Amino acid sequence: MNRKIIVWLLTTLLLTAVSARAQQPGKIPWIGYIAGSGSGPAPAFIQGLRDLGYFEGKNLAIVYRTTEGRSERYADLAAELVSLNVDIMVTDTTSAALALKQVTSTIPIVMMSSTDPVGTGLIASLARPGGNITGLTSVSAELGGKMLELLKESVPGLNRVGVLGQASPENEFFVRETEPSARSLGVKVILLAFRGPEDFENTFRSATKERINGVVERLGPLASTADRKRFVEFTVKNRLPAISVFASWPVAGGLMSYGADRNTMYHRAATYVDKILKGTKPADLPVEQPTKFEFVINLKTAKQIGLTIPPNVLVRADRVIR
């Protein structure tokens, strides 16, 4: 049978099943999950669901979609999930949440992490989000000043820092929010836009052209593990001290990180799904902020790039990789 016909038949059967599911009493809920990269939902989120008694294929179904590192795909994936009539949308990035907001004002949307949902226009306020969006915020835009401070204390000559991340509203907002702190530290911040796996060389050239001598890594869920590894190698090779909000950065060989525990946030997101499935409206669920932040330093990387971490910085670390 012709391959195109087979694909058409499978698509037709899926849409028919979705339509039938929507009309059946006692149907199990469907979650539409959009990620920037990866092969499936975050394990911590799945574990959170299980801890609350939800098991995929038994009393819950998950429709997983990923942009595969291409941010321009968020809009199409958002529209696709709406057409599948899922019960709840879940996402791990602000850009995806913004795309979902454009295509639905009725299907509940749970953010597992968002840089600044108020500043980017996703919600009205943390206490009263309004509309159909709620979840958790990483408040990482507010952490920009603290991250620069830690980097500056470790690298006294730091004066030009590249913010490495996708060209998105959240990263542009991060740069704007960080600029006042940067000025007080005598540092200029510059957005180094990363548009996808094919864009490495352009990003590297931009860093060199801008004479960057420090990096704030904000690739977020858009980047795969392989992408991050390549950037870690670039920063080490070029002796660039780099800090991230993700603890996975120093674990992978980057210099340091400062931010909320993402696994805890992803696990907590499951409680929002549970409450919404039990009838609570997203507008009535305050957006949760992290209460604990972790500072991690990789001393092996510091040695590789010829950097000595001052004792007053080292003593503040929650975890040191030696």
Q: What is the pLDDT of residues 74-107, one digit of tens each?
A: 899 999 999 999 999 999 888 889 999 999 999 9
Return d(Cα 166, Cα 193) in angstroms, integer: 5
**Residue entry with tokens 């849409």:** 15
Rounded CA separation 219/199 (Å) = 13
Structure tokens belonging to residue 308: 């000595």
Delimiting residues of CATH 3.40.50.2300 domain(s) in the chain: 3-138+262-284, 144-261+293-321
Q: What pLDDT sits at residue 217?
A: 92
Instruction: Give the count of alpha carbons within 13 A of 96, CB side only.
Output: 30
- CA 269 from centre of chain: 13
Task: State how far the Cα of 306 lies from the Cα of 308, in Å rounded to an integer.
Answer: 7
Give the fold, CATH level 3, of 144-261+293-321: Rossmann fold (3.40.50)
pLDDT in tens, 156-201: 899 999 998 877 777 888 888 899 999 999 999 998 887 766 777 8
**What is the homologous superfamily of the domain 3-138+262-284 according to CATH?**
Response regulator (3.40.50.2300)
Q: Which residue has the higher pLDDT, 256 or 141?
A: 256
